[in-house]
Structure 1
Amino acid sequence: MLESRLGWDPTLDRYLYADNELEANSILNELRQQAENTIVTALQRERPTWSDSLKPIDLNLLAARFRTPDRRNEYLVWMSIDLNSLEDLNQGRDSTLLETGLAVYDSTWKELSRRLETVPVSRSDTLHVFEDKYVVPYTVQSDQRKIYLSTHVRSHDGRQLGGYRFSLDEPPIDNRTFALSDLVLGTYIEPTTRKTPFTYHNMLIKPNIAYRFKKSGLVYIYFELYNLTLQNGQTRYEIEQTVRPQASKNLLTNLKRLLGIGTKEIQITRNQVGASSLASEYSAFDFSSLPAGKKVLVIRVKDLNSGQSAEKEVAFELVD
């Protein structure tokens, strides 16, 4: 029940994110004192009610870190709402109204920003709906290492509620060394001049929040390279892309993977040139020849002018 109130009160969010029992008890005492002061006033002016009919809305979130021109962290955040968990749509209505919100806090739980809006949601929305998920995109910029995000979704009549929270803890990308952004996988990614909610740095990114892809389709990837070294006005870099089965807790499965039994790994290497210290990369993969299951995509890039290397990886799943 507490998690359904995420983003409503910074003190409550601090309690849910407490690092240890001592901190949790201290914050709980604050909440208790607030409640004692509030209850007296509320009982004098309002009739308390309780409803056990509140139903959940299923949410999922995905965040990827990039860099702004002034070298601050910039996170792409996608909130995914499961349409099958919305009662209005399940009861045959064409659309419903939802209140969506995102609150951002610094490491001391000081509120930095809050966004609230009411959005019409329908299965026929070809812009925001991806495989029965309504996706709300956000962009969050910060020059701080650690921030907290709290989101909520509430039905217009108050009968359904969903919440999600997590922390983002990454130092701003250094402007002195070669670095990569996070890796973003999607169902479709391509350059565009169109301005849409899913356009980022002139790229149309249709996200797949769950990172589950059908083998019969393509898997798209997007990432950025920072601080490439220019020589004679040109950058040169090598991209190595490796896809392998994800490590398992099962010792026999891991042994088979090490011995190459029943597994298949793909590795592709290509060279690129450019004329800027900043580069964007996107490509599409055909994994139809791989067996279904959980995989890891590793991107390793070497700056051939400076000799520096950087590496990122992302886990995903292939399904039949």
Structure 2
Amino acid sequence: MTKTGNRLLDVKGLTIEIETRNGSAVVVDGIDLHVDKGETLGVVGESGCGKSLTMLSLMRLLPNKIRVAKGEAHFDGRDLQRMSNRELRKVRGGDIGFVFQDPMTSLNPVMRIGDQLAEPLIYHRGMGRQEARKRAVELLRLVGIPGPEERIQAYPHELSGGMRQRVMIAIGLACEPKLLIADEPTTALDVTIQAQIVDLVKDLREKLGMSVVWITHDLALIAGLVDRVVVLYAGTVVEDAPVDALYANPRHPYTRGLLASIPKLSDQPTSRLNSIGGTPPEPGRRPQGCPFAPRCPLAMDICRTHVPKLEPVAAAGHHRAACFAVEKAQEAA
């Protein structure tokens, strides 16, 4: 078992609400998760399940009309929610690096790549412009961009999608953070570039000894990248397990559905892809009981009236699941 003293990020009871015409609606409901020093955590789930909002809330980067209603978030022993804006600015980009989902909307289109890389180095590390520029070249070389001395003069639109994503990773790594949060960094990239980005992050994690949170909806992508997986559904954690245990024996029906939807090489060319019927609940229209009950093939009467707690799965190490069907199967065993 991981000791609490080895914990880098510890989030407890995080609840996020959005303001609507009809009042406040919960979009993230009491999430508990943690990241240990040197650990890579995968956060997975369908679009709209609260993955990005959860991580953006830690840095107070939530969009307008979305706010943290309650909960705690401790990073390296410090409470992120109670920090002043000045203190938090030192953490953003310094101790915590963030790779945003879409580089074309995250990179400044009228600033050269070199200037955008130098900015966090000047602010967080106190470097002069010449020193920061030299470091920017080293960072571009580190993330595998050819001809970095020339590329620092380029604007974002002059780079390919894969290169822009590598620039985002370089910016996130510029100050050698203790934690790197990568929000679907391979979205819209072809599978070859995806594999290169995954290998790059793995190599950099080993070189820098940092922790990583990798947000994705693709369970297949992170199979060989992460140490542990947290599965989110409708703003709640439904399963939390070491990666090998999750793939070998997923306990929650939602996790099983996600894994079953991954195409396999053994599938016949004419066979239909598996899918999970229905759609996640909209904010403000969450069901009374388990949020997955309307789509769950194992739903029981209790699932429609009560919300299951995230409980340890018997004889499964540090594997936890929030499911009454799992509890019933354990009692029967």
Q: Quick check: which has more Rg, 1 or 2?
A: 1
TM range (shorter): under 0.3
Structure showing greater relative contact order (alpha-carbon pairs closer than 8 Å, 6 or more residues apart) = 2
Higher strand proportion (structure 1 or 2):
1
TM-score by length of 2: 0.24
